[in-house]
Amino acid sequence: MWEALQDDEGRTYYYNQDTQETSWELPEGAELKQEDSAEPIRRIGEWSVYTTDDGREYYYNETTGETTWDNPETTPENEAESELDAELKKQPIEELPQVKSEDAEATFKKLLSDNNIDATVSFQKTMTMLISKPEYWAVSDSLRRKQIYDEYLAELAEKQVSSRSEAVANFKQNFHDVLDKYVASENLDHNTRWSTIKRQLESDDNPLYKHAVVPEDQVVGIFYEYRDNLKKAHEEQEQAQKKQALSELETYLVDVNPELTQTSADWEQLWQALQNDPRYQANRHFDVLAPADVLELYSTKILPVIVSNLQKKVDAQRKVNQRRDRKARDAVKQVLAGLDIKATSKFSEVWPKLANDPAVRDLAGRNGSSVPELFWDIVDEKAQTLRVAVDMVSEVLATQGHGYLKGLSSADDLEKALKSSDDTRVSQLDIEMALLWEQLVAKRDSVYAQEETKLATSMAKEGKALDDNDPLVKELVEKFFGNDSERFKQAIQRIGASLAKRKRPAEDDDKKKKRVVLNY
């Protein structure tokens, strides 16, 4: 005898109690123990054999859902109505009521409902129970009967779910009403635990909880959902109160009593001042504020205002200082302008005249240029003017035949030469002639020294001999100084000394090479 069982995954397999054999498929021709029937059934291909309560055998195709009285092994698919079916229809005892075709399916569903068929009753068992009922045959097609059976179970499940959801929703609403009353009586707040409220419900012998239509764990879930909403509302209210309190405190510290922040060097001093301030302590709105809340207000609102105000004062004072510094520098500039400062002047020369001047003492320690820097500004400006004048005068003198000051021997000669020039730039030049002459002489001597060095270098390279009347030296001296025998004699001496220094005897070179070898 084979028995149908299910594994942990819900799959059906077959077990032979006599041989202890298992199989996923019921062997063909094997007898299967049927839980709801005293008679065993057989399996013929895709067909299962069942017996009615009165012992009749009928056949059910598990693949197509077809049911028939005819043995599929002996009756072709297209065989005419069997004698058993014909005999059944002729029986007058259970005559099928007249049912319209459009009402046939509804009649079959009503048959299922009247017999309390649900998902716990398999289709095979349903056939066993109802096949003898006339209404069962209102739907003649066996496959359609199976489809209607499945539709009926789906509709039944949907109704049960809808009814269940409605019951839960009603309970949730009524339970909320009970919890609202506990909130009003202060027996429930955002911190209350389920164990506490459960004792209260049991103490009140609350009928809603006592006869709850939902399981305990679902009641607990509804409670904590309700309490979470209480907590959220409490937090929102607390935040709103804090926001209002912080706004009032900011106004108090900035506009009403700014002395508290002005006399407090830091946050700790301000907090201590607030603890001793009667107006702060008297305001009940401030009770919701923790030290951290006040600290955040101080760091984000109060302190930036303090810093901003201080920065404004610093900026204002800086501008005042800048104006004072500028006036002090201008005063020193006026003092320096009254001194005879030249392009070649030194600060040590003018300092004795500046040391005790009030304007100079007032500038000490201020931002900006110092007295020496202002002095050197004047010197640099005059030096620049002098350099421009030297270049310009040199150019004009060259056009007059006085290049390199030839024909000129003093500052007076220079002044006469410039005033006689048609170039108004030099004829009306406002500059100290002695200083200009000094710079022109220095420039000429510098250029001449460079040319003399070049000549000596060239003669040494070419190995030219130097005599007392060397024409190259004479030509160079006349270019810069004219027919000046004294300067020519000095040039011969300098160039000769330079050539003698550059020329080394051969024996000196041999000694040098030996020293190099020994040193190596």
Q: Name residue 61's beta-bridge partners.
A: 47
Q: Name residue 47's beta-bridge partners.
A: 44, 61
Write down the pLDDT at residue 58. 75
Q: Name residue 103's beta-bridge partners.
A: none
456 pLDDT higher than 70: yes
For 513, residues 6+ apart whose C-beta sits below 8 A from its C-beta are: none
Write down the pLDDT at residue 199. 93
For 444, residues 6+ apart whose C-beta sits below 8 A from its C-beta are: 404, 405, 480
Structure tokens at 488: 């020519």
207 pLDDT higher than 90: no
Lowest mean pLDDT among 25-34, 405-414, 431-440: 25-34
Please give the domain boundaries of the chain with CATH numbers for all domains.
1-34 (2.20.70.10), 41-72 (2.20.70.10), 141-284 (no CATH), 453-512 (no CATH)
**425-435 confidence digits (pLDDT tens):** 888 888 899 99
d(CA 137, CA 475): 150
Write down the pLDDT at residue 99. 54
The CB-side HSE value for 324 (13 A sphere, CA atoms) comes to 12
Residue type present at position 479: K
156 vs 392, higher pLDDT: 392
**367-376 confidence digits (pLDDT tens):** 999 999 999 9
Lowest mean pLDDT among 34-43, 206-215, 343-352, 421-430: 34-43
Write down the pLDDT at residue 358. 94
**232-244 confidence digits (pLDDT tens):** 999 999 999 999 9
Write down the pLDDT at residue 511. 55
Q: Name residue 12's beta-bridge partners.
A: 6
Write down the pLDDT at residue 44. 73
% of the chain surpassing 70 pLDDT: 85
Write down the pLDDT at residue 39. 43
Lowest mean pLDDT among 131-140, 183-192, 253-262, 454-463: 131-140
Q: Which of 484, 475, 493 is nearest to 409 (CA)?
A: 484
d(CA 452, CA 460): 12
Write down the pLDDT at residue 92. 43
Letter string b/e over residues 270-286, b meaning 16 or more CB atoms within 10 A of that residue's CB: beebbeeeeebeeeeeb
Write down the pLDDT at residue 332. 92
Write down the pLDDT at residue 381. 92
Mean pLDDT of 341-362: 92
**168-191 confidence digits (pLDDT tens):** 888 889 989 999 999 999 999 999
Write down the pLDDT at residue 53. 55
Write down the pLDDT at residue 516. 43
- DSSP state letter for 45: T
- DSSP state letter for 97: P
Tokens 């009667």 -> residue: 278
